[in-house]
Structure 1
Amino acid sequence: MHGMISKPPEAVSQAGVAHSRVVLVLLVVMTGLAPISLYLLVPALPMLATTFGRDASVVQMTVSCYMVGIALSQLLLGPLSDRYGRRPVMLAGLSLAIVASFGCILAQSLPQLILARFLQALGGASGMVISRAIIRDLYPRERVGAMISLVIAVMMIAQMLSPLTGGLIEITLGWHAIFYVVTALSVAIAIAVTLALPETRRARAEGASFGSDVTVLLKSRAFIGYVLCQVLASQIIFAFAGGGPYIVEVQMGRSSAEYGAWFATTGFAYFVGNLFCVRFSPRHSLDKLIWFGLALQLVGSLLNFGWSLLGLNQVPSVLFGTQMLVMFANAAVMANSAAGAISVRPSAAGTASGAMGFLQMGLGALTSQLGAYLGGHYASTLPLTSAILMLSLACASTMIFLVPRGNAIVSEDMIRQAEEDEAGVM
C-alpha cells in the first residue's frame, strides 16, 4: 500500500490496519476516554458538594487531581509502551481505569472519590499517549499530522457533548450513574482493543533502552523545537479557558450560559482547523502547515491585542470572533508539531508522546491559573490578550530558532530506507 512504512515484526499486515475504519474508531475512543470521563462529571460537582457536605473548592479536587493523573499517565505509560508494546500497556491502563471506576461508584467519602478519580485518570489516559504512538507506527511522517487531526476532530464532537450528557445523567439517574457509564465505556473499549487492535510497535534496535531514547531525543534540536511549539500552542487554550469566564461574566456582565455558548464557538473553530489539516495535509508538508498555523495564530493574537488597546473587545462577539481565528490556526500548529515531535525517533514514539503530553498538562494547570488571575483581577482584557500574544510569539520562536530548515531533519524512516536501498544494491 502506498505511503506505509515497513512492517514491525510483531504486527499483522500494517497496510490493512492503516486503512481500517475500525482501528481509526478505536483510536478516537481511546483518545477520548479520559477527557470525556472528566467532562461528564463537571455538571455534577455542585451535587457532590451537597452529598458529601464539603466546600466547592475541595470538591474541585476531583477535577484537579484527575488532571494530575492524566499528566503522570502521559509520562509513565508512553515509555512503557515503547518497551513492552502498545496493546499490553493499553490494556493494563484500561484495567486500572475499570477498577478505579468501580472505586468511584463505591466511594463513601470525598477523599476516597478523589483517590479513585486520580487512578481512573492514570489508567484511562493511556489512550491519549498511546494513540499518538500507534499513529506514528502506522503512518509515514507527512501523514501523521493529518491522522492526529482526524482523531481529534471526531473525538471533539463527543467531548463537546459530554457536559450536557453528564448533566442529563445526573438529573435523571444521580451522580453515581455517571461512573456506571464510564465503567461500561471503559469495559467496551478494553474488549474492542483486545479483539481488534494489533500490536504496532516498531522493532527496537539492539541495545535500545529508555535511557538511550531520552538521550537521543534531548540531543535533537528538532524534537525540542517541535515539543515546545506544541506545548506553547496548547497553553493559549489553557490561558483563554482560565480567564474567559471572568472576562465574560464579571467584566462584561453576561451569564454563565452565554459564556458557555461563546466558548463553544472556539471549540468549533478548533474542530474546523483539524478538518482543514486532514484536507490539506496530503498536498502540503508538515512544516508548511505549522508555519501557516503560526502565521494565522499570530495575526489573530495581534488583532485581539489591538482590540484590547483600543477598548473594542469589551463585547463577546469581538473577543471570541478573533479568538476563533486563533483556535483555527492553533489546531494546525498543535497537530503537526506533535507529528514532528514523535517522528524524530519513531521507535521511541511513546516516550516522545508521553513527554509532550506531560508538559502540556503540567504547564496547562499553571497557565489556566495564570489566565484566571489575569481575567479576574483586572478590569480590561488587555492582560489576558497580552499573555496570549506572548505565547504566540514564543511558539513561533521555537520553530525559527530550534527546528532545522528544509531537509536538515534526518528521521529513522530516512535511515531505514537508506539501509534497505543499500541492502538491495548489494
Structure 2
Amino acid sequence: MNNTTTLALACSAAFLAQVGISSYLPAVTAIAHVLPAAEVHVALALAIYLVGMALPMLLGGSLGERFGRKPVLLAALAVYALASAAIPSAFNVETFLSLRLIQGLGAGGVSVMARVLVRDSFRGALLAKGLSWLGMTFVVALGIGQFAGSLLQVAFGWEAIFYGLAIGAVGLMLVLHRVTFPTLVKVDSQVRAWRIYAAIVRHPPFLHAALAGGLGYGVIIAFNTCAPLILQGRFEWSAAQYGWLGWPISAAYLAGALMVNRFVARAGRLRMMGWGAALVWVGAAVMLLGSLFASGLAILLWVPYCLAVFGQSMSYPISLSVANDEAPVSGSYAMALSGFMHQLMAALIGGVASLLVSQQAWPLAILCMVLAGAACVCVARCHADQNALRKISSI
C-alpha cells in the first residue's frame, strides 16, 4: 500500500470519526422534542461523544503496535457502526447519551488509527503536510456534516443522520478488507504501555506542542457546543440556515490547511504555528467585541469564528507533527497520546461550554479568548524548547 493510498484511507477514517461531532447539531432542537428533554441536555451529547473519543486512544495506540493497524481499525469501525445504528432507537435522553458515548469510543479508535497511518508514512515537514490533509478532512467533516445533517433531518428526520453514519462505517470496513497493510515491527511486549506514555508526557517539547494544538481545538468545540442555541435561538436561524454555515467554516479551514501545505517548509513549523495561534486569539477578540457592542449582528459572531478556524487549521497539524517528532519514544505512542490529550481537553472544554450555553455570545467569546491565549503561551514555550535543544547540541 503506497503513501497516497494510506493517506486516502486515513482521511476517510478521520472524516467518519469527525462527522459524528457535527452532523447532529442542526437536529438538537428536534431530538430534544422527541425524547423529550431539555436542549441543554441534548447539547451534552457533544461533550459525551468527545469523552468517548478520548477513552480508547491510549489503548488503541498500544493495541496498534501489538496487533497491527488494520485489526484495530476494523474493530473500532464496527463499534462505531453498531452504536450509530442503535441511536435512533433511544427512548430517553439517558439512552441517547449512553449510545453517543459508545459511538465516541468507536470514533476514538478510528481517529487514532488514522493519525498513526499518516505518522507511519511521513516525517518532519512532510508529516506536517500529511497531517494538514487530515486537518482538511476534519473541518470538511465539520462543515459538510453540519450541512448534510440539516438536509437529512429536513428530508427524512433526525434518525437518518445516524443511519447514514452507520452505513458509512460499514462501507469503509468493506474497503479495508480489500487492502493489504504493510507489516510493521512489533514492539517489545515486556515494556508496559503506561510507562511509555508517562515518559512521553513528561518530555516538555512534546507536552507544549500537544497542548498548543489541543487548546486551539477546544475553541472549535466550544463554538460548536454554544452556537446552535445562539444562532437558532437568539437569531432565530432555521436548521437549514445553520447547516449552510458549515460551508464558510470549511472554506476557512481548507484555506489554512493549504497554507501549511504550501509554506510550512519555507516558513518553518514553529513560526507558522505561532501565526495560527495568534489568528485564533484575534478571531475570539473580535467575537467578544461584536457581542458586546453589536449583539444584534450574527455576522460579527460567525465571520470572526471563521478567522479563528483559519488560524487553527494552520497551527493544529503543525502541533501534531512537532509533538510526534519531539517525542522520546518512536512508534504510534506519541500520536495516540496527543490524540488522547486533545479529545480529553475537548471533552472538558465542551463540558464547560455547555454550562455557558445561553442566547448571549459573550461568555463563549471570553472562553475562546482564554483558550487561544493559553495556546499562544504554549507556542512560545515550544520556541524556548527548540532554542534550548540548539544550545545543548552546540555544546
TM-score > 0.5, shorter chain as reference: yes
1:216 Cα shift?
2.3
1:90 Cα shift?
0.9
1:38 Cα shift?
4.2
1:347 Cα shift?
5.7
**Residue correspondence of structure 1 range 163-174 to structure 2 within 5 A:** 163-174=146-157
1:283 Cα shift?
2.9
1:82-116 Cα shifts (integer Å, max 9, x gaps): 33322221112122223334544666666555433
Determine the structure 2 residue equivalent to 1:9. none
Which of 261, 273, 277 is the matching residue for 1:290?
273
2:205 is aligned with 1:222: yes
1:337 Cα shift?
0.4
Contact 1:290-1:336 within 8 A present in 2 as well: yes
Which of 115, 118, 141 is the matching residue for 2:98?
115
Q: Distance in 1 between the 2:33 and 2:365 partners? A: 37
Contact 1:86-1:199 within 8 A present in 2 as well: no
2:80 is aligned with 1:97: yes
Q: Distance in 1 between the 2:357 and 2:80 partners? A: 35
Q: Distance in 2 between the 1:138 and 1:208 partners? A: 24
Letter in 2 for 1:396: C
Which moved further from structure 2: 231-240 or 334-343?
231-240
Q: Distance in 1 between the 2:119 and 2:346 partners? A: 24
SS in 2 for 1:255: coil
**Residue correspondence of structure 1 range 265-284 to structure 2 within 5 A:** 265-284=248-267
Which of 369, 372, 379 is the matching residue for 1:399?
379
Contact 1:77-1:89 within 8 A present in 2 as well: yes
Contact 2:213-2:315 within 8 A present in 1 as well: yes
Which of 211, 216, 236 is the matching residue for 1:255?
236
1:276 Cα shift?
1.4
Contact 1:102-1:179 within 8 A present in 2 as well: yes
Letter in 2 for 1:398: C
Q: Distance in 2 between the 1:75 and 1:206 partners? A: 15
Could you say if the C-alpha distance between residues 326 and 348 of structure 1 is closer, same or farther in structure 2, counting changes exceeding 3 Å? Answer: same
Q: Distance in 1 between the 2:39 and 2:230 partners? A: 21
1:183 Cα shift?
2.6
Q: Distance in 2 between the 1:93 and 1:130 partners? A: 9
Could you say if the C-alpha distance between residues 86 and 348 of structure 1 is closer, same or farther in structure 2, counting changes exceeding 3 Å? Answer: farther
**Residue correspondence of structure 1 range 6-25 to structure 2 within 5 A:** 17-18=2-3, 20=4, 22-25=5-8
1:54 Cα shift?
5.0
Determine the structure 2 residue equivalent to 1:7. none
2:170 is aligned with 1:190: no
Could you say if the C-alpha distance between residues 177 and 232 of structure 1 is closer, same or farther in structure 2, counting changes exceeding 3 Å? Answer: closer
Letter in 1 for 2:376: A
Could you say if the C-alpha distance between residues 325 and 197 of structure 1 is closer, same or farther in structure 2, counting changes exceeding 3 Å? Answer: farther
Determine the structure 1 residue equivalent to 2:344. 362
1:252-308 Cα shifts (integer Å, max 9, x gaps): x52224666557534431221112112223434322321232343444445555667
Question: What TM-score does the superposition give when structure 2 sets the normalisation length?
Answer: 0.82
1:198 Cα shift?
0.9
2:215 is aligned with 1:235: no
Larger Cα-atom Rg: 1
SS in 2 for 1:125: helix
Contact 2:252-2:307 within 8 A present in 1 as well: yes
Q: Distance in 2 between the 1:359 and 1:225 partners? A: 12
Letter in 2 for 1:390: V
Q: CA RMSD in A?
A: 3.6
Q: Distance in 1 between the 2:78 and 2:357 partners? A: 40
1:225 Cα shift?
0.6
SS in 2 for 1:69: helix
Determine the structure 2 residue equivalent to 1:136. 119
Could you say if the C-alpha distance between residues 371 and 64 of structure 1 is closer, same or farther in structure 2, counting changes exceeding 3 Å? Answer: closer
Could you say if the C-alpha distance between residues 319 and 176 of structure 1 is closer, same or farther in structure 2, counting changes exceeding 3 Å? Answer: closer
**Residue correspondence of structure 1 range 51-70 to structure 2 within 5 A:** 51-54=34-37, 56=39, 59-60=42-43, 62-70=45-53
Could you say if the C-alpha distance between residues 169 and 401 of structure 1 is closer, same or farther in structure 2, counting changes exceeding 3 Å? Answer: closer
1:314-371 Cα shifts (integer Å, max 9, x gaps): 6333444333332211111111101111223386553333333333333333434544
Q: Distance in 2 between the 1:369 and 1:62 partners? A: 10
Could you say if the C-alpha distance between residues 106 and 339 of structure 1 is closer, same or farther in structure 2, counting changes exceeding 3 Å? Answer: same
Determine the structure 2 residue equivalent to 1:340. 322
Could you say if the C-alpha distance between residues 173 and 87 of structure 1 is closer, same or farther in structure 2, counting changes exceeding 3 Å? Answer: same
SS in 2 for 1:328: helix
Q: Distance in 2 between the 1:249 and 1:45 partners? A: 10
Q: Distance in 2 between the 1:86 and 1:105 partners? A: 30
Determine the structure 2 residue equivalent to 1:87. 70
Contact 1:23-1:196 within 8 A present in 2 as well: no
Could you say if the C-alpha distance between residues 202 and 55 of structure 1 is closer, same or farther in structure 2, counting changes exceeding 3 Å? Answer: same
Contact 2:216-2:372 within 8 A present in 1 as well: yes
Determine the structure 2 residue equivalent to 1:27. 10
Q: Distance in 2 between the 1:289 and 1:341 partners? A: 15
Question: What TM-score does the superposition give when structure 1 sets the normalisation length?
Answer: 0.77
